[in-house]
Amino acid sequence: MRDLHQIRKLTKIPLTGKKAKAPLYPLQVGMPSVDSIHEDIVFKPRGARTKYRVLRTTEVDTYEKTDSAVGFASALQGQKAPPVASIKAAARKPPSTGDDFSGIDRKAAKLSTGTGKLQVYKDVSDMIASLPTRDAMVKLKIPLGQTSGRTKPEQRTIQVTGFLYAASREADNDFHLIVGRDPKATPPMYMTMEVSGLPPASFPAFGAINAARTGYKKFFGSKLPLAGYDYYSTNPIPVVIQGSLFWDATHSTGQAPGPPSLKPHMPTIWEVHPVTSIKLG
């Protein structure tokens, strides 16, 4: 029987009319909405044997109010044929450009690491199954101020093997990585893992966070995410990540983080944050 994911095939990018680098299969696991794709590029990390495809999209976290998010919304709103020039202009406006962490909410927790013994998971779904429930975490009434440190459940340190499906650059200089299961596994499942902006060099976690960020930036080189989520779902990038578990209390109510096309399969707002080690490819 023919793979259902292969039944519908597109050879052009609907948003721009440009020819795709290779056929697009909208029903493939982890794919963005094809109407959100504005650029299709291929890159090869330095020293790697494998080439990877990047589908650049207009997808952003639904709560974002950055210039790029507003620009995408303005270009797309009510348009049967959105102006390509406006989309390109918004895409060239990354929400941040530096390396230093510039966020406020729970800064102390985000720029520290857990003290627990390393726990190793071979599947993202197994790690998600081990996490405390939303109700249990909400009951802790975690403050959101800059000095809000790690709670007991957030002292866990983990290593997880998975695949990188998408990534974005955020206004606080974090990179949001959407990491999921093997594309052959069912059901699909993803969660956020963050390559953090840098703390001051005096912070105990600086060395590990800096090493992870340097490794991530080296792998992607000039193809780091700009504005909107980049998707790698046509050939998800194998990844092994170590880091500390973090409860995103800021989004325990309202809209959860994540690219719209994958959020239905993101069952938790727990994150790995900060990432302290990352091996890609």
- Do strands 157-169 and 230-231 pair parallel, antiparallel, or not at all (unpaired)? antiparallel
* pLDDT value, residue 249: 96
56 plus 135 within the same structural domain: no
What mean pLDDT is reported for the chain? 93
Strand partners, 167: 177, 230
Instruction: Give the domain CATH number at 117.
Output: 2.40.50.140
56 plus 193 within the same structural domain: no
* Cis? peptide before 95, omega within 30° of 0: no
Strand partners, 178: 166, 192
Identify the domain containing residue 157 by its residue range: 107-280
Q: Look at residues 67, 91, 115 and tell me which one is the last residue of a structural domain.
A: 91
Q: How many domains does the chain have?
A: 2
* pLDDT value, residue 90: 86
What would the two tokens of residue 156 be?
């866990």
Q: Has residue 155 been placed in a domain? A: yes
* pLDDT value, residue 1: 36
The answer, yes or no, to whether residue 106 has pLDDT greater than 70, is: yes
Mean pLDDT value of segment 77-81:
69
Percent of the chain exceeding pLDDT 90 equals: 80
Q: Has residue 35 been placed in a domain? A: yes
145 plus 266 within the same structural domain: yes
Q: Has residue 129 been placed in a domain? A: yes
Confidence bin at 212 (pLDDT 50/70/90)? very high
Q: Helices 84-91 and 67-76 sit at what angle, rounded to 10 degrees? A: 170
Q: Map residue 136 onto helix, strand or coil.
A: helix
* Cis? peptide before 187, omega within 30° of 0: yes
Mean pLDDT value of segment 34-58:
94
212 plus 158 within the same structural domain: yes
Q: Has residue 55 been placed in a domain? A: yes
CB-based contact 274:193 (threshold 8 Å): no
* pLDDT value, residue 2: 45
Mean pLDDT value of segment 261-276:
97
User: What's the one-letter identity of residue 194?
Assistant: E
The answer, yes or no, to whether residue 7 has pLDDT greater than 60, is: no
CA pair distance 138, 147, nearest whole angstrom: 18
pLDDT digits (tens, 9 = 90+) for 190-202: 999 999 999 999 9
Give, in order, the Cα–Cα distances in Å from 277 to each of 12, 17, 145, 161, 259: 37, 39, 27, 12, 23
CB-based contact 186:267 (threshold 8 Å): no
